[in-house]
Amino acid sequence: MWTTFLTTIKVNLREKSNLLWLFIFPILLASLFWGMFSGLTNSHIQAQNFAVVHDSNWESVAGADSLVTALAGKNTNGTKLIHPTTVSSVSVAKKRVQTKHDNGYLFVNDQGSFSLAISDDLYTEVTDPLSSSTAGITISSLRSIITQFNHSQATLKALAATHPAASMQERMESQNQARAQIERYVTASAASATLKYTRNHSLTHFAPDQFARYYYALLGMVSMMSMSFAIVSITTAQANLSYVGARRSIAPLPKWRQFIAILLASWLTSFLSLVLSFCYIRFVCNIAVGGREPLAIVALLIASFTATTFGLLIGTIPRLSRGAKSGISTAIACFGALFAGLYGSLAMNLSDYISRNLPKLDLFNPVKQVSNLFYDLLYYDSLQPFMTTIGILLITAAICMTLAISLMRRRSYANL
């Protein structure tokens, strides 16, 4: 039996498709997630070099210097959006941008409105949907502040126009009040550019990464894809599908021992592939599980066992080729991953909707149940939900095991 066990492990690890889809593919996809999400989770203000055009138009705008002072972080507790350099004209500012000394320039147009111009390189960086640069956050904040500044200036002009009979002192007081209001707004806007509009408070012992669900939905899909180890092994042991199976059928080793050897070997290789993926997600992508790594390993052990029994059941289906059985396993994994939320925000919303309104459907989705093992560790202080999910997976495994044994026991051949 142990010879069959070792041989099955070697066959599983030498199968190129298994190495690709169960050892390499999860790491590549996790790396893709990491590249996509890291720029979102680590977003912060990146101050840009900007020229400031001090010309006659600039001097005509009240509060323009106060605006630049606020954007430069001199009165906003160190928050900086720009590193300003004063120039005398727009043409000089354009030359500085062309020579890449600055990324853009601030100026006042002929209509008296504050304006922003950025370089072509910065525009490409900001508008590229695949870019993880934080420059886009800075530019968006600058545009928002300038828009509000111009609105405040328009209010000031309207106030002066509607009170033409006011004394010079009253108009100066109104201008000073408006200027003070502008400075307060700019200060508040620049300070809020750190994106700390809310505070996070965890209701549990651990605040998980907001994108952790995608990584563990990936683990759920990979766990079900790992049933291919059992499919390959049990198909190889069938006399009508494999020459090796024909030789084994006349060997003195009983079928139940062959079955146990295949079960243990497939379980081990499936577990190893999941552990590798989990370690990459945990230590390279830095997706923590709140100090519950030992329980996460237990979850992987249960998930790999359930996947193995699923594979044994599919592998014992009569009259199906190995390729057809592998196709069924891939379809189950990919289709189940849709309802586990792996394929983006829409899929995640669909998964949440089913969990809230049709929770019984989740019982028939092994990918979702494997994902739930990690959700239970991430989002609950109590281990009761975790144990409940383990119970569901073990019941599923017991049903698959019973059906697989029944099919194997009834198998007989008229000739080889």
pLDDT at 255: 73
Per-residue pLDDT, 341:
92
pLDDT at 269: 95
Alpha carbons 102 and 120: distance in angstroms, whole number: 12
DSSP string for residues in 213-262: HHHHHHHHHHHHHTHHHHHHHHHHT-TTT-HHHHHHHTSSS-HHHHHHHH
Contact assessment for residue 228 and residue 311, using Cβ atoms and an 8 Å cutoff? yes
Instruction: Give me the pLDDT at residue 78, please.
Output: 53
Sequence-distant (≥ 6) Cβ neighbours of residue 164 within 8 angstroms: none
Which pLDDT tens digits describe the chain residue by residue (416 residues)? 778 888 889 888 888 888 888 999 999 999 998 888 775 554 556 788 899 999 888 888 877 887 788 788 765 455 678 889 999 999 999 999 999 889 899 999 888 888 888 888 877 766 665 454 567 777 877 888 888 778 877 776 776 666 655 545 555 555 555 555 555 555 555 444 444 445 555 566 566 677 888 999 999 999 999 999 999 888 877 756 665 655 666 566 677 788 898 999 999 999 999 999 999 999 999 898 888 999 999 999 999 999 999 999 998 888 788 889 989 999 999 999 999 999 988 899 999 999 999 999 999 999 999 999 999 998 888 899 999 999 999 999 999 999 998 887 766 554 54
pLDDT at 194: 44
What's residue 332's pLDDT?
94
What is the C-alpha separation between 376 and 374, in angstroms, rounded? 5
CA distances from 175 to 154, 158, 168 (A): 12, 11, 10
Specify the pLDDT at position 215.
94
Report the alpha-carbon distance of residue 160 to residue 172 in Å, rounded: 10
Say which amino acid occupies 330.
T
Q: Which two tokens stand for residue 188?
A: 């508040």
Contacts of 183 (CB under 8 A, 6+ apart): 63, 66, 70, 75
Q: At a CB cut-off of 8 Å and minimum separation 6, what does 220 contact? A: 303, 336, 337, 340, 342, 366, 367, 368, 369, 370, 371
Give the whole-angstrom CA distance, residue 335 versus residue 28.
20
In this prediction, residue 367 carries a pLDDT of: 95
Strands in 114-118's sheet, in edge-to-edge order, are 82-87, 48-53, 104-108, 114-118
What's the rounded Cα separation, in Å, for the pair 337 and 367? 6
pLDDT of residue 369: 96
